[in-house]
Amino acid sequence: MLIPIKLSQISRLIPSVGTGGQFKYALGDPRKILQRLIISSIGGIINFLISISQTGNQTYNLWLLLCVVFFLYIIWGPILESSRKNLKFRKFKFFSIFDGYVSDIYKTEKIESSREQSNRQGRLEIVENKRTWLVLELEDEDGYLDKISFPMENKHSQIRVGSNIRCLVTSNYRNFDRDIYLTDAWLPDINLWVGDYPYLLRPAFEEICYIYLNNLMRK
């Protein structure tokens, strides 16, 4: 079941500025954090050295400001990334709460990174770092909607075919018949959240689901 919600509710569900959970996601794995640190350090040092050479000039304050900006890149970089992701999702025209069930569950392998290393014969070979992802196919009384995938963890063993699941669906088409996008999802029966990127402010989504579904039951 797709339950249309007002656009005014979207700001409650998807913030314009990244949250703590979204910051953590955008910060990335240790390799990505190291890349950010390198960019932050090199950019900060270069601008600091330039600012020293510009002491007494009108551009001194500008170079000093750029130095601070680069040194803080490790902080504002993930905030900017998550905020842009949120704003991109909020630009769609129509939003609905999806209240359905898990129709199928399966696993897939995704390559997270790869590198070259020498084998015993001295030949270069590609070593791939793979991770298991869980895929949930979603349906309701009207049929198949879409699927949601995310890195698998031990807690996901609770999920079963037929489990009730809710998420936010968006599209630029009022009838949601094509080009739809899903947020992270909530399984209320086991109180478990799943998804790759944490779009939703989860307590607010749970509250809105309760209000909208109760209103439907009263009609």
Beta pairing, strands 143-151 & 124-140: antiparallel
The chain-wide mean pLDDT, for the chain, equals 84
Instruction: Tell me what pLDDT residue 107 has.
Output: 93
Nearest to residue 84, comparing CAs of 149, 13, 173, 22?
22
- pTM here is 0.77
The C-alpha atoms of residue 26 and residue 79 are separated, in whole angstroms, by 8
Least confident range from 48-62, 84-98, 128-142: namely: 48-62
Q: Is residue 11 predicted with pLDDT exceeding 80?
A: yes
Q: Is residue 74 predicted with pLDDT exceeding 70?
A: yes
| Per-residue pLDDT band at 113 (split at 50, 70, 90) | low
| Per-residue pLDDT band at 101 (split at 50, 70, 90) | very high
Q: Is residue 56 predicted with pLDDT exceeding 70?
A: no
Nearest to residue 108, comparing CAs of 147, 74, 146?
147
The 10s digit of each residue's pLDDT in 137-192 is: 999 988 899 999 999 999 999 999 999 999 999 999 988 888 899 999 999 999 99
Q: Spell 73-103 as b/e; 16+ CB within 10 A means b.
A: beeebbbebbbebbeebbebebbbbbbbbbb
Q: Is residue 116 predicted with pLDDT exceeding 70?
A: no
Instruction: Tell me what pLDDT residue 203 has.
Output: 92
The C-alpha atoms of residue 190 and residue 193 are separated, in whole angstroms, by 9
* Mean pLDDT in residue range 132-138: 95
| Per-residue pLDDT band at 34 (split at 50, 70, 90) | confident
* Mean pLDDT in residue range 97-126: 80
Q: Is residue 127 predicted with pLDDT exceeding 80?
A: no
